[in-house]
Chain A
Amino acid sequence: MRTGLAVSAVFHLVLIGWGLISLSAFEPLDASDFEALPIEFVEIDEESSTPLGIRDAEVAEDPAPNDPTDQVAEIAQPAPEPPAEDPVKPTPPPPPPSPDPEPVPDQADPNQALQDAEPLPDPTEADAAPELDPAAEETPKPENVLDAPKEVAVATPLPRVRPPHQAPPSEARERSDDIAALLDTTKPSSAPAESDRQAAIGAVTGSPFKQLSVSEIDALRAKLAACWDIPPTRVDPAELRVKVKVFLSQGGTLLRTPEVVEYKPTQIGQVAAESALRAVQRCAPFNLPVEKYDSWKEIIMTFDPREMFGG
């Protein structure tokens, strides 16, 4: 036993010594400073409430997005700006020649914007220049001419751009109409459904109004189940399935008698349909959120004993 003990003690001493030497110096982990990831907790709602987005959300700033000329105005916008800036810089009133060259680029730019390869003849430009002046409040006086562009600069884009379109003679006018028609057809069809409110650049499939949440639907179902006297039969519960369309006022009362939309055309099915109608009338004032009235003013209620009573 003594030899065993001696051997064991030596063995352990060696082991501990090895541990002290090799395990004493741990290499520190290479935990260099890493960038902290910001984590944001987003609460998941019961329903998706993303508003319906429209593709040209920026255009929504314009007062009348449906106006076809405005689409052209969008493209032609850079053109009128030089006259707006130019009068601001030179305080001495320039003579009438100064407005003259400006309408010329004004005229040329919409044409470039419309990608018209055909160069316009000079006479049209010469005609356009005098016509533009009356359009800008018909004042030959240089100071007033200067004032008019200033107003234009401040005002909304619509009046600013219209003069060049009205001013040019028939050709340009027709072309712009053609393009406008083209633009009209290519306009995205997903316009805001019901309201003028500001639309975000949101999901395309978003719903325009708020749906009833799952818990509200459940509450409604529970209420109906309490009101519903199921005809006491032993038939297949599928025969008792009835769908009733209910028309509700904002206060939750019935606007008119509900319609039975779907029922099994058997004797039991008719009884079930009548009992479902009675149940709706008995439950009549439904307490539903007013702000979601759009989604429940016409609501189809399904009476199914398997769903309502878990049978």
Chain B
Amino acid sequence: MPIDGVTEAVLVSPAGDISLVSLFLQAHIVVKLVIIGLILASVWCWAIIVDKSILYSRARRQMDRFEKVFWSGQSLEELYRSLSGRTPSGMASIFVAAMREWKRSFEAGARSPIGLQTRIEKVIDVTIVRETARLERRLLFLATVGSAGPFVGLFGTVWGIMSSFQAISASKNTSLAVVAPGIAEALLATALGLLAAIPAVIAYNKLSNDAGRIGERLEGFADEFSAILSRQVDERA
């Protein structure tokens, strides 16, 4: 029965061709590049998301621990000595930087309390900027993927549909079995673009909010600590 074999092949082949791998392998090179790029972007986005989530929760825990120790009535000198040995982060780094400046000024025998106050505040500001930069690093990549991902995917889709239409016009056959794989392959690009962009946007909003809150906490601590130091300066003067 050769005729039956032919019709079966014609009927079965298009249905079997719509698996993800075959879609990707059939796709035009541009669409392939778009798909690969979107997958890489998605991987990197999720890496950033995981990394930042870990970082923020760790930073929050460290700040809690430090505040507990700081307000426990322990002497600042002792605290400084215990912290200066390792590389501090967050509030500890602000505290260490301010204390270092304070000690240096007194060891050098500085007599101007106003100059000391200004120097301490500058040091604190620089540390805060450095800390927030560390917190917010790579967040912009999430924002970029979130806004540009759908467009990149759409570009792949448009390109794929264009090439599939050209293929249709070349084959002079408009049956759905001929049209469908090309369009499905093109739509895969949009799907991946959305798949990369949606978590990126959500995570960007969440993470930048978290970073902003941590930064506010740092600034609050810095203000309090600079107030304490300024009181000390006035007392000693």
Contacts and interface: CB of A to CB of B under 8 A. Distances in A.
Contact of B19 (A4, A11, A25, A28): A25
A12 B42 contact: yes
Interface residues of A, number: 17
B37 to A, nearest CB: 14
A24 interface: yes
A20 interface: yes
Nearest to A31: B176
B124 interface: no
A68 B229 CA distance: 129
Given A3-B51, A26-B15, A28-B15, A8 B46 contact: yes
Contacts of B50: 3-4, 7-8
Contact of B18 (A1, A5, A20, A26): A26
Nearest to A7: B50
A23 interface: yes
A8, A12, A24 pick with most chain B CB within 10 angstroms: A8
Interface residues of B, number: 18
**Max chain A Cβ within 10 angstroms of own Cβ: one of B43, B47, B48, B50:** B47
Contacts of B237: none
A12 B20 contact: no
Nearest to B17: A26
B21 A8 contact: no
Contact of B21 (A11, A24, A26, A28): A24
Contacts of B44: 5, 8
B179 to A, nearest CB: 14
Contact of A4 (B15, B20, B39, B51): B51
Interface in A1-39: 1, 3-5, 7-9, 11-12, 16, 19-20, 23-26, 28
B128 to A, nearest CB: 23
Nearest to B18: A26
B21 A4 contact: no
Nearest to B176: A31
Contacts of A8: 43-47, 49-50
Interface in B15-59: 15, 18-21, 39, 42-52, 54
B47 A7 contact: yes
B177 to A, nearest CB: 10
B30 to A, nearest CB: 21
B51 A20 contact: no
A130 to B, nearest CB: 78
A133 B134 CA distance: 129
Given A3-B50, A3-B54, A8-B50, A20 B43 contact: no
A8 B145 CA distance: 15
Interface in A237-294: none
Interface of A: 1, 3-5, 7-9, 11-12, 16, 19-20, 23-26, 28
Given A8-B47, A20-B21, 6 more contacts: A3-B50, A3-B51, A4-B47, A7-B50, A8-B45, A12-B43
